[in-house]
Amino acid sequence: MAAGGAVRHEACLGWASRSMGSGVFVQQGTHERRDVPDQPAVENVADRDATVTALVRRADDHPAMIVPHGETLTFERLHTSVAQLGRELRTAGVAAGDTVALSLGNGPDMVACFLAILAMRASAAPLNPAYTASEARAYVDDLRPRALIIQPSVGLGAAEACAALEVPVHELAATGRGERPFTLGLEMAAEAVEHPRGDDVALLLHTSGTTSRPKVVPLRQVNLASSMLAIIDSYQLGPEDVSHCVMPLFHVHGLLASTLAALASGGTVLVPPRFSASAFWADTTEHGATWFSAVPTIHQVLSLRAEQEPVPRHALRFGRSCSAALSVTLQARVEELFRVPLLQAYGMTEAAHQMSTNPLPPAERRPGSVGCATGVEIALFDEDWHRSTVPRARWRSAVARSSRDIATTLRPTRRPFATAGSGPGSRPRLVRRLPDPGGADQGADQPRRGEDLAVRGGGGAARPPGGRRGCRLRRAG
């Protein structure tokens, strides 16, 4: 037994499962491990045929997306909408390999349009609909899309930037008709069957510019599918789950974690047009949300409101925090007020979002830690890219708390965009710093100066749902 009672295992350098024992959580949701029935899976997600469109395959009348006080889109209607929008995109001249920019608000129409672009074997490039023309111009100039899709009174800055570059702009509108809920106002071309592949570039995102000027990162279908399956497995998502999406869908956090992973699990996504702290608990309880994911700022806003108004009974079984460091104090406060575990995860644009997360109870989660690797391998390197000689016993602390560089190797692309490496086995370059959620802890467990964290296989082999049962940290060489 290691210190603290965690069982050590030769293949598992993270901590092993053990009872929470704190008595903090009230049994409002289901916190124990569940068997998830009929969960979609891909035999081998490392296969180049793994695609987002193959994972989002449920097609019955189960609710796929719900807009509070608005429409409910079933999986059947979602697939119908995707096929119809794909035919309209073909009329607009979009073909395999093209880029389509999106400047849309949150809603089922954004998701249907995104999936239609992927089904066409084209690449989607979501833009913040709040961008002014000058802000959008730099991004559009980088992307040079075949077309831009906006909504009435939404995305006007991007539309102005595209007009200046003579990029066609199409307006996506809701029809209110069940047989064709969304339309671009174009004729539907003759149906032609496309067969998306895992190596299709599906999503184009700009980095945040932490280390230099923002760069365009191309993520392939297999990259996204890998991360979706890792998220499903990490949180045991299934058809009975309802994700409350409070993040914008132009952000990979909201699009991939809160929405696509939930849909791929066969569950439902509750998607308000925008985050509202005053409506959060009413919507959560009315629609039976079982989990939500947000940045720490939103958790802070919700906790402040919960201090003024008691949190009602709810069906949440966990909350998730990602995209920024979660303080130990805020985590404890949220768990006390909401009466659910708050699981901190770590994501990175170049790794198709989630790279690590703290596990669900009864496994141990550690405040101030970003948890265990999910679908990727994390290892320590020195500044010359040699494997680190830090003792194994220190690895957990180094991964959880040190402010070190992270690199990831994505699959090669034919496009002239920035990637973190030229292919599997290449020497990756440093692209992002891991925040230090634990604050200025510079104890003996910290790695020596110059040692780095690297992620290997950012596009790669996530285990199918049910395949990961512990935290795996391996040396990469």
What is the full DSSP assignment across 20-34? --S----TTS--S--
Residue 173 sits at the vertex; the CA angle it makes with 167 and 179, to the nearest 5 degrees, is 125
Q: How confident is the model at residue 200 (pLDDT cuts 50, 70, 90)?
A: very high
100: CB partners within 8 A, 6+ apart: 89, 94, 117, 122, 123, 124, 125, 145, 146, 147, 148, 149
Residue 411 has pLDDT above 80, yes or no: no
Handedness of CA 296, 298, 304, 308 (dihedral sign): negative
CA distance 288 to 291: 9
Q: How far, in Å, are 178, 240, 287, 356, 367 from residue 341 at the CA level?
A: 39, 19, 20, 16, 11
Q: How far is CA 17 from the centre of its chain?
A: 25
Of 28-42, 114-128, 183-197, the poorest mean pLDDT is in 28-42
Give me the pLDDT at residue 347, please. 85
Amino acid occupying residue 458? G
Residue 453 has pLDDT above 70, yes or no: no
Amino acid occupying residue 172? L
Residue 38 has pLDDT above 80, yes or no: no
Residue 176 has pLDDT above 80, yes or no: no
Q: What is the tens place of the pLDDT at every residue in 215-224?
A: 889 999 999 9
Q: How confident is the model at residue 130 (pLDDT cuts 50, 70, 90)?
A: very high
Written as six digits, the tokens of 296 are 């720490």
Of 296-305, 306-315, 374-383, 429-438, the poorest mean pLDDT is in 429-438
Give me the pLDDT at residue 390, please. 57
Q: Give the rounded percent of residues in the chain with a pLDDT score beyond 70.
A: 66
Q: What is the tens place of the pLDDT at every residue in 86-101?
A: 999 999 999 999 999 9
Structural contact between residues 356 and 371, judged by C-beta atoms closer than 8 angstroms: yes
Give me the pLDDT at residue 207, please. 78
Give the Cβ contact number of residue 290 at 10 Å. 25
Burial 292-320 (b: 16+ CB within 10 A, else e): bbbbbebbbbbbeebeeeebeebbbbbbb
155: CB partners within 8 A, 6+ apart: 103, 104, 127, 129, 148, 149
268-270: strand order across its sheet: 72-74, 63-66, 268-270, 242-245, 291-294, 318-321, 342-348, 353-357, 372-373
Give me the pLDDT at residue 5, please. 28
Give me the pLDDT at residue 387, please. 66
The residue written with tokens 């045929």 in the block is: 49
Structural contact between residues 187 and 209, judged by C-beta atoms closer than 8 angstroms: no
Mean pLDDT across the stretch 357-385?
A: 83
251: CB partners within 8 A, 6+ apart: 126, 323
Q: Which of 330, 366, 332, 363 is nearest to 24 (CA)?
A: 332
Mean pLDDT across the stretch 439-450?
A: 31
Residue 449 has pLDDT above 70, yes or no: no
CA distance 180 to 145: 26
Give me the pLDDT at residue 100, please. 98
Helix (H) or strand (E) holding 286: helix 277-287
Mean pLDDT across the stretch 236-258?
A: 97
CA distance 254 to 110: 12
Mean pLDDT across the stretch 386-407?
A: 42
Give me the pLDDT at residue 322, please. 95
Written as six digits, the tokens of 404 are 């070190």
Of 31-40, 122-131, 325-334, the poorest mean pLDDT is in 31-40
Of 8-17, 127-136, 237-246, the poorest mean pLDDT is in 8-17
188 or 452: whose pLDDT is higher? 188
457 or 136: whose pLDDT is higher? 136
| Burial degree of 192 (CB within 10 A; 0-12, 13-18, 19+) | exposed
Handedness of CA 311, 254, 297, 453 (dihedral sign): positive
